[in-house]
Amino acid sequence: MIGNRSTTVSRSFRHPSAPVTYALIALCCLVFVAGPAAGLNPAYGSGDALLAAQRAYFHRWGVVPAELFAGSPRAALTPATALFVHGSWVHLLGNMLFLFVFGVMTEERMGRVRFTVFYVACGYLALLGYAAANSASGQSLVGASGAVSAVLGAFLYLFPGARVTSLLPFLFFLPLRFPAWVVLPFWASLQWLAAGRAPDGPGVAYLAHLVGFGLGFVCAWAGVRRTTKVRAAPAPAPEGENQP
């Protein structure tokens, strides 16, 4: 959760007004539960039939770089539709958790309309950037991680003094609190290193994270006044972008 020393922001946090963030979370959850990846809809069958349905589903609604740059009008929409499709329960719940933690205050700072445009546009461009760097790939790319990373970038600019609780594996997952200006750039550095070593094929689209994070920071810097004297309670870093 995120708190602020100023009376106005503290009051708004105790009574958050972030309908867009909540609607995005609800929509992603509904899409996932209704789709084949959740394994809850008997209409998709089981076993090999379910796996085939999942592959077809991700191919239809996800970003396939090789098709995107072939000039298909339908494929041009997939960087937008892919934002609401997730490959697994872990993928979905991770992204939605971090969208909730970072998105509520970011939306309140930006405003509903601006935040909506910001989220969809940055998510679209993040996936487009990944596709451009892997234009020959036939793998489907889905997930909201590019858009969530943009929210992180905006959060870093808007609330650099926020206290973020992190779990560090090399310290036996001991929870430690650091300012956002320490934690989030460190996370972005890890994405950069991982992107340079990422193999071809299904996995985590680290480049989409980096593009989204950079776009989010720049958009917030260009269009939103920054709040000062912010402190925050626990907030983790986002899940990776899965390619089924």
* Cβ-Cβ contacts under 8 Å for 76 (sequence gap 6 or more): 68
Eight-state DSSP code of residue 225: P
Q: DSSP assignment, residue 43?
A: G
Q: How far is 214 from 208, CA to CA, in rounded Å? A: 10
Packed helices 180-197 and 145-158: angle between N→C axes, nearest 10 degrees? 150
Count of Cβ atoms closer than 10 Å to residue 225 Cβ: 8
Active site residue 59: no
209 is catalytic: yes
Q: Give dist(CA 174, CA 171) in Å, integer.
A: 6
Of 140, 145, 149, 166, catalytic: 145
Q: How many whole angstroms separate alpha carbon 121 and alpha carbon 126?
A: 9
Q: Which of 91, 140, 166, 209 is catalytic?
A: 209
Distance CA 122, CA 215 (A): 6
CA angle 79, 115, 35 (to 5 degrees): 40
145-158 vs 112-133: helix crossing angle, rounded to 10: 120
Alpha-carbon distance of 41 to 129, in angstroms, equals 33
Contact 99, 148 (CB under 8 A): yes
- Annotated catalytic sites, by residue? 145, 209
